[in-house]
Amino acid sequence: MEQEQTSDHPTPVKSEIWEWAKALIIAAVLVLLIRWFIFTPFIVEGPSMQPNFETGERLIVNKIIYSIRKPQRGEVIVFHAPQGRDYIKRVIALPGETVKIENNKVYVNNEELKEPYIQEAVARELQNGDDYNSDFAEMTVPEGHIFVMGDNRPNSQDSRAPMVGPVPYDKVVGRADVIFWPLSKISVVSHK
């Protein structure tokens, strides 16, 4: 009488399932690593960055760039605000620089800052007889910090406010690089 032989080899179906399981696990780990260490999504809330960013827009924030280099003037960043929320603002002045606002103009180290990203909004407000940039007494940005402001200067809680102040480097999440939602606004974020 012959005995049935059992095989230690997996069946083709079990092998296929195991291969799919491994692929899905690897994909999930890669997504988590990329999401955690390299890129993160961010949803714009509030009017502080109008006219360039609107409430509900979704951005991809590059989290690794500032481990390679420091933030630069004009870049749009996301940072942890003192109120426990993340804010999106534009870098205006760097450590050791002086910043002040007079007569609707921003000055960094006593030179007027050119801001093409809000030029039309400023002109429109001035034409209506309104201020866009309220006067702000000169201050020197502390070492290890950056001075940030929203593009919608009359309606932005930013470094001009004592409760926010200059932002320490260690509170910066990353640089906003891409608008990915809504689909009609997909674009690379301008940092100039």
Active-site annotation, residues:
48, 89
Closest CA to 39 of 90, 78, 10: 78
In angstroms, the CA 174 to CA 180 distance is: 16
Nearest to 151, CA basis, from 5, 55, 75, 51: 51
- 3-class secondary structure, 110: coil
Q: Counting beta carbons within 10 angstroms of the beta carbon of residue 79, is it exposed (0 to 12), middle (13 to 18) or buried (19 or more)?
A: buried
What is the amino acid identity at position 98?
Answer: T
Helix (H, G, I), strand (E, B) or coil at 72: coil
Compute the C-alpha angle 4/6/7, nearest 5°: 145
